[in-house]
Structure 1
């Protein structure tokens, strides 16, 4: 099986996936029967190139990592827009890794919708379109035939959705709770050491863990988008991020954090999704006091974790990195493999 791949976005995440495509090329072919070639790259900063015979991915990586345009490599076409690349490149797998927008999902939503409408497969780490338009995009995927995968939208490369396609396929999930935002978990972890919120936030911004405008993280919007994705995928809901009950960490005081430690627990910003007794799907994000014995209480720094309550194995907790070039790139590699397996089944 061969995938002709088009990158829509070639920033940190896209290049992380490109690294792994090259590193795992022999394994993919010999162990899984998967071959690939990159036929297009379209990025708002790195430029746009298309070639039906394949692009030299190593050269593209070298140029992009150096901050240079990929339009310097050999190609048949240059300068196509993202939508033109999707429509004209001949790719059968679109890697959509543009910036996240949880207000309307653009431009990723339009990219994914158009690709699926043409019967192309899509792998994305862009949580905006999945959080806002999950049902519509899955319906198009089902009707037209292109597969849609989005493993990296919640815990980066740490497996969430793929687990329930494989070893946990026969397990029903009744509730999900977890730490899905590394920035807020880092801040709370450092506050446990007696440091103030303002002090830790400033350092997190200096280290690159928090944005200059940290609202998405500290007000819980990033976690709310992930909670919506979990609720929609696992429970068949139709929840948007603005429908998630949400409280961030800006109101948490140092006294509350250190007081929780003294009482034998910790405060963590948890995202939750579950069905209540009436069968209604609920989702929320809120600072939560956890007993020290709770697996989630011991997740520190930028590490992420999710606990699934299942009918077969009880509670299962998945722990791993929630960000990073290689980790998020791996989510896309897992999606590529998942798509290949689904096409063969």
Structure 2
């Protein structure tokens, strides 16, 4: 590709190639990545036009055989992988999907990948959070340069479409606040503790059900909930996610006393994250007793909820959504469809 030449978008690429194929490159092949690949393969068989063209991991790369829909083998792949720019060019990718962990260690890789793709005109769909927090403006500028889109539903609530509402669903409705329980693990743990269970017992059950990660520290400390609301606020009000400060109240062994006491009063203890347009660049996570009628009180198990406070239009609430690798994978797939099949006519 010559200097200054922009990679075609998904729709343009299909038209140039004369075939309805939308190549996707997947980065990361853990539980979320595998679930995403399975869903993409099903959609391909159903005639969506989406096709998994390559899978990249830290140690290797798999390229789909030309003209086939062969599934990727189990890793490890042969390696080392080519540079991402070379893979994108070889596959004529329209979308880069990042199923990477939200860890400081993976942050540099996620940032470099996303910037490379966006500047090449390749849309980015991501489940990772760390690089969104640290590089929000850099990613925004790269997307502007390449004329590409960034979607982050899987980073703001998995199957819960909270990011879609923040980005466009409440646009123009005068949203002034966000109040959320966006972390399913914390809600599940607090409910077990309210029934007399210990923190250790609650975590063991959450892991058995596939709700909690092996390391639940981000969930229990409130960091995960804070991060998600930071991203929602950045979408809503144009905040630089990297500049947002947060204060959190953790869930500890001693929290069981407060959870049981709240239950005795007919209330439920919840880890509630909040932000307000009038208090720029600040997010708080508190353990709150929520009464019946509060959307946070109604949550069961690992469900999540977000309330967008719109004084003139009325509060808008979205709740539910699966907290699991499958839920995150489905959110990635939803965003892939949105960026790859953008329609500009009728009801599409």
TM-score bracket relative to the smaller structure: 0.7 to 0.9
| The one of 22, 29, 33 aligned to 1:10 | 29
Flag the 1:326–1:254 CA change in 2: closer, same or farther, 3 A.
closer
SS in 1 for 2:62: strand
Q: CA deviation at 1:51?
A: 4.8
* 2:167–2:235 Cα contact (<8 Å) kept: no
Within a 5 Å distance, the mapping from 1:159-178 to structure 2 comes to: 159-163=161-165, 168-178=170-180
Contact conserved, 1:157 with 1:327, CA < 8 A, in 2?
yes
* Residues 240, 127 of structure 1: alpha-carbon distance in 2 compared, 3 angstrom cutoff: same
SS of equivalent residue, structure 1 residue 24 = helix
Secondary structure at the aligned position of 1:297 is classed as: coil
Q: Which of 28, 34, 53 is equivalent to 2:66?
A: 53
1:142 to partner: Cα distance: 1.7
2:142 and 2:118 map into 1 onto residues whose CA distance is 6
Q: Does 1:38 align with 2:52?
A: yes
Deviation, 1:156, is: 0.4
1:105 Cα deviation from its structure 2 partner: 2.2
Q: Give the deviation of 1:218 after TM superposition.
A: 0.9
TM value normalised by structure 2: 0.83
**Aligned pair 1:94/2:113, yes or no?**
no
**What is residue 319 of structure 2 aligned with on the other side?**
319
How far apart are the structure 2 equivalents of 1:233 and 1:308?
Answer: 12
TM-fit CA distance, 1:16? 2.0
Matches within 5 A, 1:1-345: 1=11, 2-25=21-44, 29=48, 35-44=49-58, 47-51=60-64, 53-54=66-67, 56-57=69-70, 59-60=71-72, 63-64=73-74, 68-69=75-76, 79-81=80-82, 83=84, 84-86=86-88, 88-102=90-104, 105-163=107-165, 168-205=170-207, 207-240=209-242, 243-250=245-252, 252-276=254-278, 280-311=280-311, 313-342=313-342, 344=344
Q: Structure 1: which 5+ residue stretches go unaligned?
A: 30-34, 72-77
Unaligned runs of 5+ in 2: 1-10, 12-20
Higher normalized strand content (fraction of residues): 1
Give the distance between the partners of 2:160 and 2:128, measured in 1 at CA. Answer: 15
Identify the range of structure 1 (16-25 vs 255-264) with the bigger mean alpha-carbon deviation. 16-25
Distance in 1 (CA, whole Å) between partners of 2:166 and 2:66 is 36
**Aligned-residue CA RMSD (Å):** 2.8
- Cα offsets for 1:62-93 (capped at 9, x unmatched): x33xxx5455xxxxxx6424635346543221
**Which whole-Å deviations, capped at 9, do the CAs of 1:243-264 have from their partners, x for residues lacking one?**
2112211264322111112223
Question: Taking structure 1 as reference, are residues 210 and 167 closer, same or farther at Cα in structure 2, changes over 3 Å only?
Answer: closer
Q: How many residues align?
A: 325
Q: Residue in 1 aligned with 2:14?
A: none
Q: Distance in 2 between matches of 1:255 and 1:189?
A: 12
Aligned to 1:226, what secondary structure does the other structure show? Answer: helix
The 2-side partners of 1:284 and 1:88 are apart by 45
The alignment's TM-score, normalised by the length of structure 1, stands at 0.83
